[in-house]
Amino acid sequence: MREFIEKLKETGKLVEITRPVSKVFEAPRIAKQTPAPVLFHDISGSRAIMNVLGSREELAAMFGVDKDRIIQKLSEISPDGEVVLVKDSPTKEVVETEVDLTTLPIMTHFEKDAGPYITAGVVIAEYGGTMNAAIHRLLVVDKNRIAARLVAPRHTYVMHKKAAEKGEKLPVAIVIGADPAVTYASTTRVPAGKEFNYAAALMGKPLEVFECSNGIKVPHAEIVLEGYIDPKERVDEGPFVDITGTYDLVRKEPVIHITRILHRKDPIYHGILPAGPEHLLMMGVPYEPRIYKAVSEVTTVKNVVLTEGGCCYLHAVVQIEKQTEGDGKNAIMAAFASHTSLKHVVVVDEDIDIFDIKDVEFAIATRVKGDMDIMIIPHVRGSSLDPRGAPDGTTTKVGIDATKVLAEKEIFERAKMPPE
């Protein structure tokens, strides 16, 4: 994290706030108004950073590629990097056994929030010989308890369910402020237990981990919270602003008891603004390689983007090199199959800039005939985050084939001026 922050400083991309700032509303408000990574030097005497990976430019810089090559890069990387167990870590510079979460700059973001939320905490759990690392939203209940939103049937939910059925506590560690590659890797859908291997592959070097007192192995970070998920205890979790910028439901969720806090001297807390650019990209970009690979099975795919207007989650634009009629519709079906939360998808030709929504709209305006090129698929599984979804989790999906008719492609040719 600190190396990444230094690179941001060197390139002039970091905004630094030195005056005292409140963790209740004020810091999140500043982050929302700042289109760049922002480092706070004094939130109740602590440091914190937001918008770390708040744009595709930051992601591209982390991966060492141009912005329009991110998905091709990610689709080529396998989760087979090396993970090395080490004995010591700078994370152990300070060890607190008297736990008080209120001493950390954990922020309250919006007026109806249930309370302060940890939003960039990577929850690492191990059970039955398998580990999992994933970001979960974490509501601070009191000084040593956190309510964790665990979504079925994802891995942490399954591990907790199996442990709870046996009346067992599930040991966990919550990592805050790791290398951004680790945080990103924890949002991906890789084979079970491969998140750290994937992070190492992204970094291009071995990832060091050390063992906590409860047996959980974690990477070096600014802060680590050790504890366990209680097999029975549940409390109200929410309201919370999710990726759509609307409030999610209040649910009874499991409780994590924090037993120790490890942190560096003068740690830098990492917070992700709910529904902010970093939240959207961290949620959406990991699905883009999945869509890319799925569409590549049915036609020649060139690029994929989950659009910001679609919350980087519900809307996709897929660029293909059309080979035969029907490729557009096959691409639509492949995209929906690869990302079940996807609600609307537009398929375009190579001459359309998928990062320019005006260009995409041009394709829809000039290449779509509604009765032939729009697919409507009712009553299918959607996203629980979609406010328009049905109570049973279903929705209606729409696919738009905005590609040229191959037999008449000349009439769709875009006018060009000759070079000087």
The residues that are catalytic are 242
- Nearest Cα residue to 335 out of 365, 310, 367, 364: 310
Q: Which two tokens stand for residue 63?
A: 């991966």
**Matching residue, tokens 């005006």:** 358
Q: Pull the structure tokens for residue 295.
A: 């569409």
Pairing label, strands 15-17, 38-43: parallel
In this structure, are residues 46 and 269 in contact, taking their beta carbons and an 8 Å threshold? yes
Pairing of strands 122-127, 170-178: antiparallel
* Distance in angstroms (rounded) separating the CA atoms of residues 8 and 14: 5
Tokens describing residue 30: 């500043």
**For the chain, how are helix, strand and coil distributed in percent, rounded to 5?**
30, 30, 40
Report DSSP state, residue 106.
-
Query: How far apart (Å, rounded) are the C-alpha atoms in residues 379 and 289?
Result: 26
Given a contact cutoff of 8 angstroms between Cβ atoms, the answer to whether 242 and 250 are in contact is no
Closest to 253 (Cα-Cα) out of 148, 368, 372? 148
Contact 290, 68 (CB under 8 A): no
CA-CA distance, 186 to 170, in Å (whole number)?
19
Backbone angles phi, psi at 350, to 5 degrees: -65, -25
Q: Which residues contact 195 (CB under 8 A, 6 or more apart)?
A: 79, 131, 132, 133, 134, 185, 186, 188
